[in-house]
Amino acid sequence: MTRHHRTTPRLARILGSLLLVAAAGVLTSGAAPAPRPAAAGALDQVVPAPASVRPGGSPYRITERTGIRVDGSREVRRVGEYLAEVLRPSTGYRLPVTTHGGGIRLRIAEGPYGAEGYRLDSGPRGVTITAGAPAGLFHGVQTLRQLLPAAVERDSAQPGPWLVAGGTVEDSPRYAWRGAMLDVSRHFFGVDRVKRYIDQLALYKFNKLHLHLSDDQGWRIAVDSWPRLTTYGGSTQVGGGPGGFYTKADYREIVRHAASRHLEVVPEIDMPGHTNAALASYAELNCDGVAPPLYTGTAVGFSSLCVDKEVTYDFVDDVIRELAALTPGRYLHIGGDEAHSTPHEDYVRFMDRVQPVVAEYGKTVIGWHQLTGAHPAKGALAQYWGLDGTSPQEKEQVAAAARNGTGLILSPADRIYLDMKYDASTPLGLSWAGYVDVRRSYDWDPGAYLPGVPASAVRGVEAPLWSETLETSAHIEYMAFPRVAGVAELGWSPAAAHDWDAYRVRLAAQGPRWEALGIGYHRAPQVPWPAG
């Protein structure tokens, strides 16, 4: 891994000012600026691109006298503490979080911010982030991080100087749903690995973490009323390793950590297909009463819950009740994809019975887009994972549901499946949806993607990361970075900001940040990364 050269503080100060002068001369629209070393982040180098940026005025300099001022509320103070935790190790400053004084200020106020927007004002006297709610302050803090030099992300003292370019950012998201999905079933990822990914997603203003908690290869969440789901059904994974599962305490810890990063956890129990781990754990769930063996391969579409048996619905009720009780968020994902061994009429009957159970426990249904072939419940969301080559009939089925009120989350497999290989030389991942290079993952418009879908039906985007070939955090990061940043921009930035040539330059400036954070990203040749 490359590290930055250490410059003397004085030289760095001069270099920093020169860069700021250069940055101030760059307009936010028009021709892409030439790549330059990303020492200090300029106002126009943020990912995802803010809705509006007005560079100008002198920078603010964080010093040993800087404090972080918050208003009274606990949630605002938490955002302040989070910012302090980011800044303290690299700056070496105390950065007290207090309700008086100056420097960096986080304030809640009425204004045009919405649930997640913010305004950031930076000048010689300080930086103020204003928002209507703590989530907006948190997203503003992510912008502030990118306005500081990449070395701010290191976990040991760095020379600085810590300049924040002068100007104003006014920002709010295009979509309310900006998700990432992690498949913890095919290979199990423990609590610390999930937290690490959450922290990385927070950098780019994601607000949903969808966990794929069950599949043929493993059941990963404790259900007290059906204990063998985890003790047996969670005991292996793809390739035959030991697997694993989350206790309820583990899961609460993930939910708590995600909430501290303003992400909502969306749990998925996939059904009626993708259920071999459950069927192997309880013989009575099988139509023939015989439990199949555990499965450690990577085929799909061979398992189904028994739609005709009452015990199936007792099981589903128990699972949904216990999972809903663990879920402060609004949504519960019931899968519904690739139910190839469930006859269509059975699939429809099953979904007709199961969706009301989700509502009964106070949650809103999400299903993979095959749910639109049944009767999506009122208010349900469908997650589209088709590709360019998906048949017009299937696309129209989804579009008709959207016109009928079903909201859509877009996860096109040949665009933002992060488990697809970048190209033929990618050592990890799959390629059933083709190769997905960085440009392909970024260069499409969610608002105009599916024909016949009203723009208002599109709730946002979500990048799934299926884990058939992925076992470690390093694997997750190599596949997610840099593409996940592009998904963040599709979800957050206004359509008018979309421009591959400008984006690839902004993206390149993230490389040194990822190096500072220890994220082993793919140095895709389409991006002009600064020399490492």
Question: Could you say whether residue 419 binds ligand TNX (CB under 6 A)?
Answer: yes
* Helix, strand, coil percentages, rounded to 5, for the chain: 35, 15, 45
Alpha carbons within 13 angstroms on the beta-carbon side of residue 251 total: 25
Residues 6+ apart with CB under 8 A from 277: 185, 214, 215, 216, 217, 218, 219, 229, 233, 234, 294, 295
Exposed / middle / buried, residue 90 (Cβ in 10 Å: 0-12, 13-18, 19+): buried
Task: Please say whether the beta carbons of 245 and 220 come within 8 A.
Answer: yes
Determine how many CB atoms are found less than 10 A away from the CB of residue 358. Answer: 23
Binding mask 366-385 for ligand TNX (x = CB under 6 A): --x----------------x
Minimum distance from residue 332 beta carbon to ligand TNX (Å): 16
Minimum distance from residue 356 beta carbon to ligand TNX (Å): 23
Of 120 and 470, nearer to ligand TNX (C-beta) is: 470
Of 363 and 421, nearer to ligand TNX (C-beta) is: 421
Residue 209 carries which side chain, given as an amino acid letter?
Answer: L
Minimum distance from residue 299 beta carbon to ligand TNX (Å): 10
Residues 6+ apart with CB under 8 A from 350: 271, 272, 305, 307, 342
Question: Could you say whether residue 387 binds ligand TNX (CB under 6 A)?
Answer: no
Nearest to 476 by CA among 265, 193, 245, 215: 193
Of 292 and 528, nearer to ligand TNX (C-beta) is: 292
Binding mask 430-459 for ligand TNX (x = CB under 6 A): x-----------------------------
Task: Give the C-alpha distances (Å, rounded to integers) separating 309 from 285, 306, 317.
Answer: 8, 6, 13
Buried b (16+ CB within 10 A) or exposed e, 50-81: bbebebeeebbebeeebbbbbeeeebbbbbbe
Minimum distance from residue 479 beta carbon to ligand TNX (Å): 11
338, 346, 396, 499: which one binds ligand TNX (CB under 6 A): 338
Residue 103 carries which side chain, given as an amino acid letter?
Answer: G
Question: Could you say whether residue 133 binds ligand TNX (CB under 6 A)?
Answer: no
Binding mask 398-417 for ligand TNX (x = CB under 6 A): -------------------x
List the interface residues with ligand TNX, window 176-235 (CB under 6 A). none
List the interface residues with ligand TNX, window 458-477 (CB under 6 A). 466, 468
* Residues annotated as catalytic (active site), given as ranges: 338
Of 317 and 338, nearer to ligand TNX (C-beta) is: 338
Of 126 and 386, nearer to ligand TNX (C-beta) is: 386
| Calpha distance 236→294 (Å, rounded) | 8
For residue 410, the 8-state DSSP code is E
Minimum distance from residue 300 beta carbon to ligand TNX (Å): 5
Binding mask 283-322 for ligand TNX (x = CB under 6 A): -----------------x----------------------
Of 243 and 511, nearer to ligand TNX (C-beta) is: 243
Residues in the chain: 532
Please name the helix (run of DSSP H) or strand (run of DSSP E) that holds residue 310, with its range, or none. Answer: helix 310-325
Determine how many CB atoms are found less than 10 A away from the CB of residue 294. Answer: 21
Tokens coding 130 = 């204003």
Of 168 and 185, nearer to ligand TNX (C-beta) is: 185
Please name the helix (run of DSSP H) or strand (run of DSSP E) that holds residue 350, with its range, or none. Answer: helix 344-360
75, 81, 337, 396: which one binds ligand TNX (CB under 6 A): 337
Minimum distance from residue 164 beta carbon to ligand TNX (Å): 41
Minimum distance from residue 244 beta carbon to ligand TNX (Å): 18
Minimum distance from residue 417 beta carbon to ligand TNX (Å): 5
List the interface residues with ligand TNX, window 78-107 (CB under 6 A). none
Which residues are at the interface with ligand TNX (CB under 6 A)?
300, 337-338, 368, 385, 417, 419, 430, 466, 468
